[in-house]
Amino acid sequence: MYEPRNDIVTPHSSERYEIALNTSAGRVTTAVDVPTAFVPVTAIVPLMRRLGEEAHALEEARSLESGQARSCQKGCAACCRMLVPLSPPEAFTLKEFAQSLPCDQQERIAARLAQAKSVLLAHGLWNQLVELAESSQSPEDDMLEPINQAYYALRIPCPFLENDLCSIYHERPAACRELLVTSPAQQCQDMAKNPVAPIPVPVRIGSVLGLLWGELTSTPPRLIPLPIALDWAEQHKKMSHRSWQGTQLFDAALNTVWRFLSQTFQQSGNTPSANERTV
């Protein structure tokens, strides 16, 4: 339906979209500027993250109204020892951003990635992560959970963590943006033993982008574990050079969001209201 190209044209114009999304926490209304030229899929990643954050903000406001305030604070890096999944568009975006960093910072990240790989190889997890990223089948929860638990048990700090602060905070993956809790911060120190109370996520943007990429490329939806994301993006960089007409690409992304929200409403037994977009 959306024909790709293998050249990337720098956009010189855009169209403003007025969007209304009906989520479980309320209605998100916002405006975004979408490039009209042919662009890579990475061009819409910031737009999609913004939609996800605005929807999540409604859930956070609803949680606060019920007396449950977010306990996450700057410098709290307990969740930065979890296995973070990225969609292929996010992996390409992260690779591009990492290459734009100062050389000394790139070297520190590379050293931490090498250390993480060494630990994962020693515990037999590295190849499992690679297989997960290259699988021709969509991952099932019962297959992912043992891997998640084994990874978390190693307490490997995120390679992008410096002095317990995220060094790529404004470019962090959607999964990192979506994990907010209202339970006491100290309980996050060992989430395998302590119950935590996450704020609900209306729409998981990483999953949406993964589904979108699968549709665009006729490949299975896949998750790229963060420790191998830069390697995966490098190995598949030819695919990152494909481009689509910007507004058609964003339309396809919105359709995926709406399908995701419709499934969420159906699972909860509610009837979704119509979502809208105008140009």
CA 105 from chain centre, in angstroms, equals 23
The answer, yes or no, to whether residue 44 has pLDDT greater than 90, is yes
The whole-number pLDDT of residue 89 equals: 97
What digits encode the pLDDT tens for the residues 199-221? Answer: 999 999 999 999 999 999 998 88
More confident: 164 or 273: 164
The whole-number pLDDT of residue 185 equals: 86
Q: Which two tokens stand for residue 142?
A: 């019962």
More confident: 51 or 138: 51
The answer, yes or no, to whether residue 275 has pLDDT greater than 80, is no
pLDDT, mean of residues 131-148: 83
The answer, yes or no, to whether residue 55 has pLDDT greater than 70, is yes
The whole-number pLDDT of residue 246 equals: 94
| 77 C-beta neighbours (distance < 10 Å), count | 15
The answer, yes or no, to whether residue 125 has pLDDT greater than 90, is yes
- Report how far residue 56's alpha carbon sits from residue 70's, in angstroms, rounded to the nearest whole number: 12
Query: Percentage of the chain with pLDDT > 70?
Result: 90
Give residues with Cβ within 8 angstroms of 67, minimum separation 6.
none
The DSSP bridge pattern shows strands 224-225 and 26-35 to be unpaired
The whole-number pLDDT of residue 78 equals: 86
Q: Which of 85-94, 138-147, 176-185 has the highest mean pLDDT?
A: 85-94
Q: At what angle do helices 126-134 and 103-122 cross, to 10 degrees?
A: 110
Which of 60-74, 137-151, 177-191, 237-251 shows the lowest per-residue confidence on average (mean pLDDT)? 137-151
Q: Which two tokens stand for residue 12?
A: 């010189």
Which of 53, 46, 29 shows the shortest CA–CA distance to 246? 46
- Report how far residue 7's alpha carbon sits from residue 243's, in angstroms, rounded to the nearest whole number: 6
Q: What is the mean pLDDT of the chain?
A: 89
Which of 96, 94, 89, 95 shows the shortest CA–CA distance to 206? 89
DSSP bridge pairs for 14: 35
What digits encode the pLDDT tens for the residues 160-196? Answer: 999 989 999 999 999 999 999 999 988 888 888 888 9
- Report how far residue 33's alpha carbon sits from residue 164's, in angstroms, rounded to the nearest whole number: 34
- Report how far residue 108's alpha carbon sits from residue 101's, in angstroms, rounded to the nearest whole number: 11
- Report how far residue 71's alpha carbon sits from residue 197's, in angstroms, rounded to the nearest whole number: 10
The whole-number pLDDT of residue 9 equals: 47
What digits encode the pLDDT tens for the residues 4-32? Answer: 665 544 445 889 989 998 888 889 999 99
pLDDT, mean of residues 64-85: 90
